[in-house]
A and B are shown apart, each in its own frame.
Chain A
Amino acid sequence: MNVIIATVLVLVMLVSAIAALVFKDLLNAVIALSVVSLIAAVIFYLLQAPDVAMAEAAIGAALVTAIFIIAIRRTKRFEE
């Protein structure tokens, strides 16, 4: 059961990582990147590393996303 969940999570993570590279709208790319972080946190939890999962969820999914969005607001939203 755990293997199936982990496989699905890793596949979603890979898809959103590729999406973060492909998207021309940088705001969408940042959201895709935060999805990668969130799923990484869940996988850390499944691998019995809750300490790392907490740090990943708080820093990777919340703070880094906010900093990227603020940076996009100051620069350009669309990639040429």
Chain B
Amino acid sequence: MRKIIAIVLLAVIVMGISLAVREIPFGKTDTKVGEYYLNEGKEETGAANIVTSVVVNYRGFDTLGEIAVLFTAAIGLGAVFGSRKKKKDAEEVEKSSLIVYTGCRFLFPVILLVGAYIFIHGHLTPGGGFQGGAVVASAFLLMYLTCRGKRIRDKSNKVVESLGGLIFVGIGLVGLIIGKGFLFNFLPKGEFLTLFSGGIIPIIYIAIGFKVGAELTGVLDNIIEESK
């Protein structure tokens, strides 16, 4: 009986979605706002990557909300896992083999460099703070898997995370002080397609990259420490 109900429900949902999707004209710009971003975005923000100009400039306040969601999730996880008292290296952890250890030690800075490249060049090439931060966190994950027993310093991780958030909000508030509105692009646009262009966009994306990287690393640290 339950299976029949599930199949009927699934059929209704599939029919609804397919009917809705058939009505949407994919690949055409029917919305005025999307066309505006494509045509005017480059001149207005100075960023070559239009996705970035939307995420950080036009919809910067939404991005602040996203950062806050991630921050809340990390804090919740820390509250659940971090409240238990830490075991003080009670057991000897088995060391990974020499080849794995050496290979990972060689790869770690390269992955960090890729992550940093992604979030520093967020306004020129695809990618940005979130993607770069995730890549940085995956580099730390590699370190956790190979150099077991080693941990990042809890305090410096928290300092980096807080500084990233503070810089984002601080730059937003400067725009408010000038009198143009929160997250107003007050810096000069610079030369198009160079690293120093786009006004506040690269600064905010670097802050987001550090913050997301530190947050995801903190989440991994909490979970791995708990799983010992």
Contact = CB atoms under 8 A, between A and B. Distances in A.
Contacts of A70: 223-224, 227
B213 to A, nearest CB: 11
A67 B131 contact: no
B130 A55 contact: yes
A51 interface: yes
Given A67-B223, A74-B227, A59 B134 contact: yes
The interface residues of chain A, by DSSP majority, are classed as helix
Interface residues of A, number: 14
| Residues of B in contact with A, size category | 10 to 19
Contacts of B181: none
B56 interface: no
A55 B131 contact: yes
8 contacts: A50-B126, A55-B134, A58-B134, A58-B135, A58-B137, A63-B141, A67-B220, A70-B227
| Closest 8 pairs (CB-CB, A-B) | A58-B134, A50-B126, A54-B131, A62-B138, A70-B227, A51-B126, A55-B131, A59-B134
Interface of A: 50-51, 54-55, 58-59, 62-63, 66-67, 70-71, 73-74
